[in-house]
Amino acid sequence: MRIAVFSTQSYDREYLQRFNPGFVLDFFEVALEPHTVGLAAGAGVVCVFVNDNLNAAVINALRDMGVRLIALRCAGFNQVDLAAALAAGIPVVRVPAYSPYAVAEHAVALILTLNRKTHKAFNRVREGNFSLDRLTGFDLHGKTVGVVGTGKIGQAFCHIMLGFGCRVLAFDLVADRDLEAAGVVYASLMEVLESTEIVSLHCPLNAQTRHIINSGSLARMKKGAMLINTSRGGLVETAAVIESLKNGHLGYLGLDVYEQEEKLFFADHSEKLIDDEQILRLISFPNVIITAHQGFFTDEALTAIAKTTMENIRCFTAEEPLLNRV
């Protein structure tokens, strides 16, 4: 079985080859989209990541080439036209959980860095500046933290925040009894936004959650509050957060995902002009930290992603039940 692997990075090669049970892997650095879909010719499976574009045109082209399975090496599937895949008769499988701790811990790293300004202190000390001016932070202990989405990653994040001595309010369509027993209080989305000093997003991107953070919801947040997004870029309306930062209402912003990240992330643009005014504006704020979708990037997570992806494909070729079918 030949597998066409798109959006390949060096670590994809390393981990997928390490756990490959014997498939032929063809790696392509380019993303899967309409003008690159021809690279999948002769493959029975395409293996894709978060910024590949599997719209109806791409899926129909894959069907016509004989591709029989779409294997996502990620949890999210908003980049796939599932109706088109169903009509084409191509199953879609994913990695529903790899290491929820990896993403949850990265969210905490963003919080701590924004709060205690360790990135600024690091640069100062390297330049011989040992002043503490403008490095004032706040105690996390005793603060109220809002969590939007309490799936596996949200659950892990809640437990970490409880460990810091925070009060945790959460919003989800279904309350988690174990979290409630641990001390998490479920509330409406508006109550979470209005009552917390830190809001962290851990929900999937779909029609209901797109731009869940917009000018209206930002206005409901406390003045000076911190917003963290390690989930999907489309949850946040970029123009709205820029305006909220400009007028001083939003106090801090930490992003590991970005609404237009498919044009930027997972590539080196250091020798180019970045043609994205919104991200350039975000980078200019002293109270904003952006990382390039690295929340998942731990050895444990990469190992789990590769193992599950290969097992999904093995099950398909062996005509066994697809436990991780979308």
Strand ranges across the sheet with 24-27? 24-27, 2-5, 45-48, 69-72, 92-93
**Catalytic member of 73, 232, 237, 259:** 232
Six token digits for residue 113: 């860095």
CA–CA gap between residue 156 and residue 168 (Å, rounded)? 12
| Contacts for 192 with CB less than 8 Å, ≥ 6 apart | 146, 147, 148, 169, 170, 171, 199
> Which element (helix H / strand E) includes 154?
helix 152-163
Identity at 28, one-letter amino acid code:
F
Q: Is 232 a catalytic residue?
A: yes
Q: Is 68 a catalytic residue?
A: no
Contact 286, 105 (CB under 8 A): no
Six token digits for residue 254: 């930490």
Give the count of alpha carbons within 13 A of 216, CB side only. 4
User: How far, CA to CA in Å, does 175 sit from each of 85, 98, 285?
Assistant: 32, 22, 36
What backbone phi and psi angles, to 5 degrees, belong to 188? -70, 160
**Catalytic member of 197, 237, 259, 261:** 261
- The residues annotated with a catalytic role in the active site are 232, 261
